[in-house]
Structure 1
Amino acid sequence: MVHLKAPYVSGFLAFREVPFLVELVQRLQEKEPGFMPQVLLVDGNGVLHQRGFGVACHLGVLTDLPCVGVAKKLLQVDGLENNSLHKEKIMLLQAGGDTFPLMGNSGTVLGMALKSHEHSTNPLYVSVGHRVSLEVAVRLTHHCCRFRIPEPIRQADIRSRDYIRRTLGHPGSPAQRQERSQKEQRPKVCPKDGPGAPADQGRPPEDYGRDSSTDLKDPQPGFQEQQKDQQLERTEHHEDSDL
């Protein structure tokens, strides 16, 4: 776990977070060189940035590794806007792997909007970070997606949040923690005729013989994974526009 000391400044997030990522790459190179990645997928932007040099570019230059910027929200720069025209283009993305270019007023293609999964309604915004073409960046990102978010980024987010929960306790605002605590303290529901009654008493006849474990199974494959993805998006600790 790292402790961030640099102040947060919108558009300069790389100066706050990249030093720790560079140190991590260097430690991996020293201790486990066989596990050095061939490319890095970065939760943020590359050349799709106010100054054309986002966190994916910054990390790539300092590590000299190919880097791809993968953002969940559109960074509105160089005339790019999340307006009705942009939303119409999103609606035209039908199948996983479909894309459309993000061309700014300067005439430069800054990235691609990618429908990363068949059932995803919101695209990803892929941009070049370092030592990779936009075409390769898009293809690589798409092939890494079991769900909407590429697995390297998704797993890093899931595992880091799990580590925080295990070491620091439940995350969330004080109100969320209080609500969670109240739910945990609620008394369990007893059978209809009191604590001594059989557990099945008062149960509707049509429920007899049903394996209660089936009620806990996913209604469809990947349901829990999709819920995790949605939760991750709701609990993002900073906006992609800051990357």
Structure 2
Amino acid sequence: MTDNELCKSITEAIAAAWLKPDQHGLPIALRFSTLAAILFRQNEGKQGAGLTGGKQQEDLFRDMLLYSDKRFSETGTPEVKDADYYFNNLPLSHKTIGYNGVGALALAWSKNGPDGLVRNKFHASMVIMCFRDLKMGGALKGQLQGAYVVPRDWLQGNISFSSNNKTDSLIPASEIARAMAYATSHALFVPLTYRHEAGGAARVSLWYSGAGKESPPLDPPTTT
């Protein structure tokens, strides 16, 4: 299968996952959207919120996929350095554009010395999860909220990197807009209804969430 055909399968898998009900009967898309909003809101205005929030959103999206479809996995064979998760062993790099995001992304937000790891080549197809406010202007003006799946071979042949004080693998917003337009025109886009205000004053608690039998979820404290 070509990269485009594989990415079409991934797009269909994401769309199907969002339509599935969770254990309470609510669409997974609604649960995902609400939790994403809560994470964004609880990080707003805090130092390092961009990197911290981005990692949290990546983990949320990955866990949603693993919950919904067994074809997604955390690891693959062989391991690919840019991969955040895999679909039938196809490596996928995950990127998030936040509600107030400009749209510039990077393969790695760090600068490595001449002997360090240099990331200037795409080793995985990319899933761009866009939560951006539709009223914002800039290079991404008009781009809809949702998941954009961009094939690795298209990225490698069409995207040019730039540099700033934080990274040498910067993908400017104008290049991201081109990638999103490509995904949209090739039916590699899944729209998501996202309401930023749904985050409200709630917060996601690692302490109460638990993890498996060894550390089951805790009930919230009583007020009496």
More helix per residue: 1 or 2? 1
Superposition TM-score, scaled by structure 1 size: 0.29
Larger Cα Rg: Structure 1 or Structure 2?
1
Where relative contact order (Cα < 8 A, 6+ residues apart) is larger, the structure is 2
TM-score when normalising by structure 2: 0.31
